[in-house]
Amino acid sequence: MVALIILVSAALAGFSYYRARNAAIEDAKTQMRTFSEQLIDRFSVISGQTVGFVGLIASIPNAFLVPPPDRLNDKTALLREFIRRSPQLDGAYAGYPDGSFFHVINLKSEGWRRALAAPHNAVLAIRAIAPNDSGESIQHLSFEDSTGAIIKSVPARTTNYDPRARPWYQAALDTAGTVSIGPYEMATTGKLGMTLAEAHKGNPKIVIGADIVLDTITDFLSAQRMSPDTVAFMVDASGNLIIHSNRGVMARIVAGKAEADSVNSPETDAFIRSLKSNPEANLVDVGDRTFLVASKPVASAVLLKGQRVVVAAPLDELMAPANRALLQGLAISAVVVAVAVALALLLSHLITKSLEQLTESANRLQNLDFATPVEVPSHVAEISSLGKAMNRARDAIFTFALYVPKEFVKKSVQAGYFTGRSAKREEVTALFTDIYDFTTISEGHSPEDVVAMLSEYFDILDEAVNAHHGSIIQFLGDSIFAMWNAPIPDTDHAENACRAALAAEQSLAHFNEAQCAKGLPEFRTRFGIHTGQAVVGSVGARERLQYTAMGDTINVASRLEGMNKVYHSTILASAAVKQACEHTIEFRPRGAGQAKGRAAALELYEVIGVRATTQAIDREKQTVSS
């Protein structure tokens, strides 16, 4: 019932979303076209304003028909107003056929301020160059504040600057009307800029020019965005980047490193390729996002003529309002569906609740969790009978678990060793322990006292082995056989076995202190550790299996434990163990020894402790964990 309701509802909702999505895309395209047109209009205003001012100054009789130093105040007043009304200008100037030059500089640029050593409150710099009687070009430089008052004048000096050698001057002499130069990197500021110039109508040898800093256009592109991830840029007729709204890409353009196919921007690269194949608005996939891309030629007669402005906005951001409205509509539909689903689920819940409880109880039994009885109230007789049967099984498994190492069973399940009677050869580290003179201890105390002391003793060993990722395979009277790297893989099995033995030795020292305080015997323990290949798996009869390890490696570990008597040591390890973990565990050589049942002698090493650097790392880890 739920599946049928959801299937029908999903089909209706999907059809509704498909229609709404198409409508949203069309609306987004309309917004994109409108945005592109507004962007072009704003850019055209900037371009037209600059072209208009340059053309106006070059078209009417004014102070610029005479070279400096004549009518400097009139020239300054006119260009000052020009720059005030055109914040995108880096400066405006006039070049003369005798090499004279008049330049009003906008000091918003830090490059100009540093180059001219401008006072902190200066907003304009006025530079006038005129030849003297000897033919040398003499430069006069002064600075104005925001009120137009001169706040500093620099002593006159000679200069090599000649406007007649500049590209803008030469281009204006050869072209009727306004000409544009660039984009190019400005020599003084290092910014990307362009120059507009036009020969004066009153004297075609006089050229009026203005420098436009394209950073202002970049700022405009960055500020006027349709969405947070909208990208706007400009390309020339060949598809090369000129301006980009991203500051990083813009810096590479200024450095001369940005080309159409190498801008270090996958999005821009994809947009340019799409533009070359289809100049009209289209959808472009970049990574896992879809962008709506629109381009439009610059409607300027001079500045950046023939270039195209490209705007790309992520479709998900453009459609966010439409998606929100769609989600609101879907939410209403979802309420209706939810009510129908809730009724169906309520009906199924009444039937399946008892089965879910039985499943949960079975899962607890699988994890050997006997803390909670299986309580399954149900009006269905079969389910009630099954619940009682599971309780009886719980009691039986709980009793059996007292004789089986529960944690080892869990690890075996994780490692996938329930495959019947099977085994495989693996590299393992085996550890054997034994208590000095345990026979004497057991004879001198009652069985109850011996069991109590051994239980506490085995708890200490079990905690040490488990804490260091090992497993106790067997309890052998007063001894244990523990193993690492099986059934759970452990790349540091030799090191962890040594650490477990050291930890057990330390804990047993406290245990023995308590034993002495009670007047009870100490349990002095010997440890033997060896690493090597062993046959590991489940062996036994059909009706009873045991997980164990067999082979020379296991025998050697057992013999090493016994050889502690000869060397009066506590923890003896083989050369294989030392070789595996000598970078973290400290060993003391004890020479060669002959293990019972082996023809070749063994190189013996006593485990002393954890190396100092390793202890410091362990303490740091414990501090971070706490």
Whether 534 is in a domain gets the answer yes
Q: What percent of the chain has a predicted confidence (pLDDT) above 70?
A: 81
Q: Which domain holds residue 387?
A: 325-401
Whether 408 is in a domain gets the answer no
Instruction: Quote the pLDDT of residue 263.
Output: 46
Whether 33 is in a domain gets the answer yes
State the amino acid at position 595 in one-letter form: A
Query: For 99-139, what is each residue's pLDDT tens digit?
Result: 999 999 999 888 899 989 999 999 999 999 999 988 899 99
Query: For 563-601, what is each residue's pLDDT tens digit?
Result: 999 999 999 999 999 999 999 999 999 999 988 878 789
Tell me the residue ranges of DSSP E strands in 179-337.
Answer: 179-185, 192-199, 207-213, 231-235, 241-244, 282-286, 289-297, 308-314
Same domain, 288 and 424: no
Same domain, 302 and 281: yes
Same domain, 617 and 568: yes
Tokens coding 511? 């245990």
More confident residue, 161 or 370: 161
Same domain, 462 and 558: yes
We report the CATH number of the domain holding residue 460 as: 3.30.70.1230
How many domains does the chain fold into?
4
Same domain, 503 and 615: yes
Instruction: Quote the pLDDT of residue 596.
Output: 82
The arithmetic mean of pLDDT across residues 419-425, rounded, is 78
Rounded CA gap, 171 and 178, in Å?
9
Whether 163 is in a domain gets the answer yes
Same domain, 397 and 446: no
Last residue of a domain, one of 352, 377, 401: 401
Going by pLDDT thresholds of 50, 70 and 90, the confidence category of residue 625 is: low
Q: Is the pLDDT of residue 624 over 60?
A: no
Strand partners, 259: 262
Whether 54 is in a domain gets the answer no
**H helices of 86-195, where?**
110-116, 167-174
Same domain, 544 and 609: yes
Instruction: Quote the pLDDT of residue 220.
Output: 66
Last residue of a domain, one of 318, 341, 356: 318
Whether 407 is in a domain gets the answer no
Query: For 42-62, what is each residue's pLDDT tens digit?
Result: 777 777 788 888 888 888 888
Same domain, 424 and 308: no
Whether 434 is in a domain gets the answer yes
Most confident segment among 333-337, 469-473, 523-527: 523-527
Instruction: Quote the pLDDT of residue 208.
Output: 93
Instruction: Quote the pLDDT of residue 546.
Output: 81
Start-to-end CA span in the chain (Å)? 51
Going by pLDDT thresholds of 50, 70 and 90, the confidence category of residue 97 is: very high
Going by pLDDT thresholds of 50, 70 and 90, the confidence category of residue 496 is: very high
Going by pLDDT thresholds of 50, 70 and 90, the confidence category of residue 609 is: very high
Going by pLDDT thresholds of 50, 70 and 90, the confidence category of residue 606 is: very high
Whether 55 is in a domain gets the answer no
585: nearest Cα among 536, 533, 527? 527
We report the CATH number of the domain holding residue 305 as: 3.30.450.20
Query: For 252-267, what is each residue's pLDDT tens digit?
Result: 766 665 444 444 466 6
Same domain, 180 and 295: no
Instruction: Quote the pLDDT of residue 85.
Output: 85
Phi, psi of 103 (to 5 degrees): -140, 125
Same domain, 432 and 388: no
Q: Is the pLDDT of residue 73 over 50?
A: yes
Same domain, 457 and 478: yes
Last residue of a domain, one of 297, 318, 339: 318
Q: Which whole-number Å values give the CA distances from 592 to 531, 589, 604, in the listed order?
A: 17, 9, 6
Query: For 267-292, what is each residue's pLDDT tens digit?
Result: 677 777 766 666 665 777 777 788 88
Same domain, 117 and 190: yes
